[in-house]
């Protein structure tokens, strides 16, 4: 398919669901650059790190929820093409919120389909996932002829819900509009690999946070395991080409859009071991790479333990104080089992060829995180254990009664160090006072340097004292 870069874009109206997200915002900005008349970013959030840039470039930000049909119809009215990127449950705690995952990924997609058919919107591009065909089995250079992974065998609700939603989207291809005035809806699905790039906010921050804490303890699987990644600009290009592939007014095509009813795997085309891929990023931030490996079967046991533990905590999964799970079963499969796909079909049918190489993409990602290092750096898990357990031990020695067990051992050690109980209590109270003063100072300093996280700096410094404060002082010096 050989079309101009603005074919089907210039002078048209577009809606991007999930438009305030990492990929959605990049797509909106590219649509504006290519001459779209009206671009709407439809998102549950009222703001994001990209919302100011979007507004400055003329993108209309519409707040709403895809699970509410009225919100969807309001956002889509008058559109020529819809990119459906809104999704939930891709990683971490989100994976365990089963009801919300199905509501957004299945019911939300149905609402988008219904709105397109009701409002006479001709083109719908659905952003899917590799997980519709992958569920833990090895796949070498797979293609679109692979069958869907059995619905009941998915280990997480995200892959299952995205598979159901994609099948709904593709089965509604060429369905006539409901107003009986002629015309029909053309649909296709883009299946991206793991997405990376400057500002990616799902996978990389979690990986970097784990490495910063010193909890990136092992690789999963051996070094021969490979999987795909896709740079954000390459994915945006694929989405735009897919939308062009749904045009029914291309000469010589007899109103049969080449992409209609099709699915396309999209990647950088360079399968690589996940830990090898992340190595330049983590080393640039002075974080250690894991030196030992854990077999997939053993990692799955650990993932299932984490799954069970966080399932018990289901009512609190949205709370800020509950950290992300260490690892989950589907994440074990993603990093520990070889699965990569060919983008040959996308190349032949819609003209997709990655325009950013993995080296260039990782270089820009490394540059982004190096600039942010002063804000993401912080105490390791060992500092947390030392400070929190140390303060708890001092409290037990000073105030908890008992002459047997662990309390008595802690008290004997404290008396050996400080000679008397009044001195043990005085040291504990002075330590608490210092922690409080350091926390208050950190809060005031963070209000100026990092206002979005001022509360977090207060509580972290209250718990860790100078182990936390020194990183905020480093930001101030820089």
Query: Exposed, middle or buried: residue 29 (CB in 10 Å: 0-12, 13-18, 19+)?
Result: buried
Residues belonging to the chain: 478
* Nearest-angstrom CA–CA distance, 368 and 287: 16
Cα 188 to chain centroid, rounded: 23
DSSP string, 101-132: HHIIIIIHHHHHHHHHHHHT--EEEEE--GGG
* CA 212 remoteness from chain centre: 18
Reduced to 3 states (helix: H, G, I; strand: E, B; else coil), residue 41 is: strand
Q: How many CB atoms lie within 10 A of CB 24?
A: 26
* H/E stretch holding 60: strand 60-63
With a CB cutoff of 8 Å and minimum separation 6, the contacts of 409 are none
DSSP string, 239-283: HHHHHHTT-S--TTSTT--TTTT-EEEE--S--B-HHHHHHHHHH
Q: Which of 157, 164, 183, 77 is nearest to 126 (CA)?
A: 164
In this structure, are residues 190 and 144 in contact, taking their beta carbons and an 8 Å threshold? no
Q: Which of 290, 472, 458 is nearest to 377 (CA)?
A: 472
Integer Cα distance of 175 and 117 in angstroms? 8
Expressed in angstroms, the distance from the first to the final Cα of the chain is: 51
Quickly count: other Cβ atoms within 10 Å of residue 364's Cβ.
15
Catalytically annotated residue among 158, 196, 264, 287: 158
Q: What is the widest separation between alpha-carbon atoms in the chain?
A: 94
Active site residue 186: no
DSSP strand pairing (175-176 vs 184-192): antiparallel
Nearest 5°: the CA angle 137, 141, 142 is: 60
Distances (CA, A) of 236 to 85, 124, 195, 240, 356: 11, 15, 11, 6, 11
Q: Annotated active-site positions, please? A: 158
């Amino acid at each position: 398919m050989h079309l101009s870069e603005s074919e089907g874009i210039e002078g048209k109206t577009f809606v991007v669901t999930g438009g305030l997200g990492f990929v959605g915002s990049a797509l909106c900005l590219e649509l504006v650059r290519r001459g779209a008349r009206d671009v709407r970013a439809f998102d549950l959030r009222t703001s994001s790190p990209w919302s100011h840039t979007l507004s400055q470039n003329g993108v209309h930000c519409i707040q709403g929820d895809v699970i509410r049909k009225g919100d969807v119809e309001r956002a889509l009215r008058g559109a020529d093409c819809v990119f459906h990127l809104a999704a939930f449950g891709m990683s971490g705690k989100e994976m365990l919120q089963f009801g919300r995952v199905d509501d957004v990924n299945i019911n939300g997609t149905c609402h988008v389909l219904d709105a397109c058919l009701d409002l006479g919107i001709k083109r719908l591009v659905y952003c899917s996932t590799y997980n519709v065909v992958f569920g833990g089995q090895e796949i070498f250079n797979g293609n679109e002829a692979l069958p869907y992974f059995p619905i009941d065998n998915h280990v997480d609700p995200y892959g299952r819900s995205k598979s159901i939603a994609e099948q709904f989207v593709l089965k509604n291809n060429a369905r006539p509009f409901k107003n009986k005035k002629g015309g029909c809806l053309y649909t296709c699905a883009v299946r991206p690999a793991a997405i990376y790039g400057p500002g990616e906010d799902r996978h990389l921050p979690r990986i970097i946070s784990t490495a910063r804490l010193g909890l990136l303890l092992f690789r999963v699987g051996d070094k021969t395991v490979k999987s795909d990644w896709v740079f954000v600009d390459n994915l945006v290009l694929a989405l735009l080409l897919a939308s062009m592939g749904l045009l029914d007014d291309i000469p010589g095509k007899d109103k049969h859009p080449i992409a209609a009813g099709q699915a396309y795997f999209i990647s950088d085309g360079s399968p690589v071991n996940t830990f090898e891929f992340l190595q330049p990023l983590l080393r640039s931030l002075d974080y250690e790479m894991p030196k030992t490996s854990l077999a997939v079967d053993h990692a799955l046991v650990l993932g299932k333990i984490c799954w069970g533990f966080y399932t018990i905590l289901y009512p609190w999964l949205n709370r800020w104080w509950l950290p992300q799970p260490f690892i989950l079963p589907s994440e074990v499969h993603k990093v520990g089992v070889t699965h990569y796909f060919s983008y040959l079909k996308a190349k032949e049918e819609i003209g997709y060829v990655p325009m950013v190489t993995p080296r260039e993409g990782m270089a820009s990602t490394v540059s982004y995180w190096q600039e942010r290092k002063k804000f993401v750096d912080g105490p390791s898990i060992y500092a947390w254990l030392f400070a929190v357990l140390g303060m708890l031990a001092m409290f037990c020695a000073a105030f908890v009664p008992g002459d047997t067990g662990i309390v008595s051992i802690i008290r004997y050690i404290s008396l050996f160090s400080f000679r008397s109980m009044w001195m043990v209590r005085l040291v504990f109270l002075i330590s608490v006072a210092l922690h409080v003063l350091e926390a208050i100072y950190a809060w005031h300093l963070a209000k100026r340097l990092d206002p979005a996280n001022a509360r977090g700096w207060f509580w972290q410094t209250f718990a860790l004292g100078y182990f936390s404060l020194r990183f905020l002082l480093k930001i101030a010096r820089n």
